[in-house]
Structure formats: structure tokens, C-alpha cells
Amino acid sequence: MANHFSALKRARQTEKKTTVNRTNTSRMRTALRDLRTAISAGDKKAAETSYSNAVSVLDKSAKKGVIHKNTASRYKSRLAARVKAVGTK
């Protein structure tokens, strides 16, 4: 365990940030999982609703630094194409 005051403080800060980052990552993964489930079920309406939610979560994750903004953009683009294809199958 750390002995210096600054090292103890850094350990406390790391614990807090780890908790926040883990929460945000979990929220993002859950939104993506829900969207992929709706897409695989073939429900266009549910897929569009889940897509809207997922886009919001991805943008917030990119804003908070959980993922890079280009990664969020790539996810949104690929998921939009999959949602669009749900009704045409």
C-alpha cells in the first residue's frame, strides 16, 4: 500500500474514476446489447427505439472519454445500417 500522502490521494482518486468509468462502460455495453437483440429479433420499431437510445449513450461515452469520438461514430454508422436493413429482409 502507498505510504506518501500524495500516493494515498492518487489511490483514492483512481478508485473513484475506476468506478465511474466502469459504470459508463457497462451502460454503453448494455445499450448496444439491447440494440443488437432487437435487430436479431427483426422488430423494426424496437430496433429504431433502441438505436436512438444507443446513439445517446455512445455520444455520452465519447464525451466522457470512455471511448474515442471516432469509435462512437463508427459504431453509430454500422448500427444504423443494420437497423435500416431490418425491414428489408
Q: Which residues contact 8 (CB under 8 A, 6 or more apart)?
A: 2
**Mean per-residue pLDDT over the chain, rounded:** 93
| 2 dihedral zone (left: phi>0; alpha: psi -120 to 50; beta) | beta
Tell me: the pLDDT tens digits for 73-89? 999 999 999 999 997 75
pLDDT reported for residue 89: 55
Instruction: Domains for the chain: give ranges and CATH numbers.
Output: 5-86 (1.20.58.110)
The arithmetic mean of pLDDT across residues 33-50, rounded, is 94
Statement: residue 1 has pLDDT above 80:
no
70 C-beta neighbours (distance < 10 Å), count: 9
